[in-house]
Amino acid sequence: MKKLEKITTQKENFAKWYTDVIQNGDLMAYGSSKGSIIFKPLSFGIWDNIRLNLDSQFKKIGVQNVNLPLLIPESLLNKEKNHITGFNPELATVTEVGGRKLNEKFFIRPTSEVLFGDFFKNEVESYNDLPLIYNQWVNVLRWEKTTNPFLRTREFLWQEGHTIHNNKEEAENLTTQMLDVYTNFVKDFLAIPVVKGQKTEHEKFAGADYTFTIEAMMKDGKALQAGTSHYLGQNFSKAFDISFKNTKNKIEHAYGTSWGVSTRLLGALIMTHGDDRGIIIPPKIAPIQVDIIELFASKDERISKEAKKIYNLLNEVGISAKIDSTNKNAGFKAANSEIHGTPLRIEIGPRDLNENKVLFVRRDTIEKIYVPLEKIKETTINILNEIQENLYNEAKKRLIKNIKIANNYKEFKTLIENGNWVITKFAGDGNDEEKIKEETGASTRCMPFNLDIEINSEDCFYTNKKTNRVVIFAKSY
């Protein structure tokens, strides 16, 4: 594939920077149809690592994986109308097969609540059969008008968890628990700090009693919804007649939850850590953690020998490395490693070898460190840990710095204009949210949990009504 000579800087044009780096970093290619993308080995490798690691967190709390069909018959979709209104304009519809018109239309799943509803109703008779804590890793499709690779594509990959319980409390606890699983996962593996909170009525998942969210801040200040966990109450259970005999021998409708994260996380990762040299992949999720670069490869056979030795050394302790033994020049190889976001590169050159050392270059700080040959293993382990921590700390600092308090609409507009998140007291309704979005581009992201920011005002910044409701607004992806 042809590469750009120069990447647009973040300051020049953040959106252009984003599409430059994901293409030059070999993360994706555009698909054959509009709004579709191809996950190339690097981005799919990251997604595979996300799946592997998140799935093992799921299993610790008893989640079981299943797989439900892609297509939803029209009759089924109409059973729960609340949640579907929003998806309606985006539903890709199969109306014919091999040129013959079908009697019933089928929709490609935009999400699978109704399919799980129809499935669950036959699986449950007594309170003993509950809970069912299921999840699937699948593709879904929403025919979006404006698309952006990873962030908003017509088809995307995700996991969607669907559970039913024999009591409200257990279902509500699981809704909270999954939000914590997501929070810890994006923190520990993707090095992304988030704000946890609840969506407003206006922004919640239609069909849910309430929606929890984790919101991440991108380097341009915009918010990205990185994961959601919905408490569905008995809404889908009533629509699909998912009922059980309770301990008092009475028939009762089950209590449901659903929760998901998607390949949007790749977009979040790129826009949280990337810089003007390209993407930066946190070590704990990187398919390749170390690039081993042979300098002047053809001229000195000690170099390739040392490269293989280091490769094996790292392999032994579970660090994935890749050797670049091509005949390209040193600058090209370094830039190539940087644009692909490999956390650490080790350069092996003849002069350094004479002194029994190699050069480590960190992708995050571009710091150069000479490391004696006998210290390579431990130094690599330490530096990868440091990079992981540093990426998180930098992102966390930025997040805290850019959440600002607005006391009135004027302050609000200025702060939003300057790329901040605004935390404020808000008593408005959905109509007010729509108006504010029209005028400023900002929407409510959440009513945050445990955010250590004191707001002295007791008045809504917009309606001036007295309120205790704290809300975060931001422009978003």
The one among 20, 113, 118, 338 contacting a copy of itself by CB under 8 A: 118
Q: Where are the beta strands (DSSP E) in 131-198?
A: 132-141, 155-165, 194-198
- Going from the C-alpha of 159 to that of each of 68, 135, 151, 387, the distances in angstroms are 12, 7, 15, 28
Q: Between 79 and 404, whose beta carbon lies closer to a copy of itself?
A: 79
Q: Is 29 in the site for a copy of itself (CB under 8 A)?
A: yes
Using CB under 8 A as the binding rule, whether residue 96 contacts a copy of itself is answered as yes
DSSP-derived letter for residue 7 is P
CB of 64 to a copy of itself, least distance (A): 4
List the beta bridge partners of residue 345: 291, 361
Which tokens hold the place of 402? 């850019």
Structure tokens at 44: 């799919």
Q: Which of 8, 14, 19, 36 binds a copy of itself (CB under 8 A)?
A: 36
- What is the smallest separation between the CB atom of 80 and a copy of itself, expressed in angstroms? 13
Please pick, from the candidates 32, 146, 354, 456, the single residue that binds a copy of itself as defined by CB under 8 A.
32
146 binds a copy of itself (CB under 8 A): no
Residue 122 binds a copy of itself, judged by CB under 8 A: yes
State which of residues 20, 80, 155, 291 lies at the interface with a copy of itself (CB under 8 A). 155
Q: Which of 8, 19, 48, 353 binds a copy of itself (CB under 8 A)?
A: 48
Per-residue burial over 174-211, b if 16 or more Cβ lie within 10 Å, else e, is bbeebbebbbebbbbbbbbbbbbbbbbeebbbebbbbb
> Under the criterion CB under 8 A, does residue 33 sit at the interface with a copy of itself?
yes
Which C-beta is closer to a copy of itself: that of 99 or that of 468? 99
Query: Could you tell me which stretch among 82-90, 169-177, 350-358, 424-432 binds a copy of itself (CB under 8 A)?
Result: 82-90
Q: How far is the C-alpha of 330 from the C-alpha of 296, rounded, in Å?
A: 8
**Least spacing, CB of residue 317 vs a copy of itself, in Å:** 19
Q: Whole-angstrom Cα distance, residue 391 to residue 398?
A: 11
The only residue of 15, 38, 366, 369 in contact with a copy of itself, by rule CB under 8 A: 38
Are 354 and 384 contacting, i.e. CB atoms less than 8 angstroms apart? no
Minimum distance between the CB of residue 299 and a copy of itself, rounded to whole angstroms?
A: 21
Complex with a copy of itself: residue 38 or 400, whichever CB lies closer: 38
Tell me: does residue 4 bind a copy of itself (CB under 8 A). no
Do 170 and 131 meet the contact criterion of CB atoms below 8 Å apart?
yes
SS3 assignment for 301-364: HHHHHHHHHHHHHHHHCCCCEEEECCCCCHHHHHHHHHHCCCCEEEEECHHHHHCCEEEEEECC
In whole angstroms, give the CA distance from residue 467 to residue 461: 10
Please select the residue that binds a copy of itself; options are 20, 24, 25, 44, rule is CB under 8 A: 44
Measured from the CB atom, the residue of 155 and 209 that comes closer to a copy of itself is 155
Residue 290 β-bridge partners: 321, 344
- Report whether 304 contacts 327 (CB < 8 A): no
Q: Is 31 in the site for a copy of itself (CB under 8 A)?
A: yes
Q: Identify the residue among 9, 88, 126, 329 touching a copy of itself (CB under 8 A).
A: 88
Q: Is residue 56 involved in binding a copy of itself (CB under 8 A)?
A: no
User: Mapping DSSP to helix (H, G, I), strand (E, B) and coil, where does residue 286 land?
Assistant: coil
Q: Which of 25, 45, 260, 283 binds a copy of itself (CB under 8 A)?
A: 45
Contact flag: residue 64 with a copy of itself (CB under 8 A): yes
Among 121, 129, 123, which Cα is nearest to 80's?
A: 121
Stretch that binds a copy of itself, among 92-100, 187-195, 197-205, 454-462 (CB under 8 A): 92-100
Residues forming contacts to a copy of itself in the complex (CB under 8 A) are 1-2, 29, 31-33, 36-41, 44-45, 47-48, 64-73, 76, 88-99, 106, 108, 115, 118-119, 122-123, 125, 134, 138-139, 141, 143, 155, 157
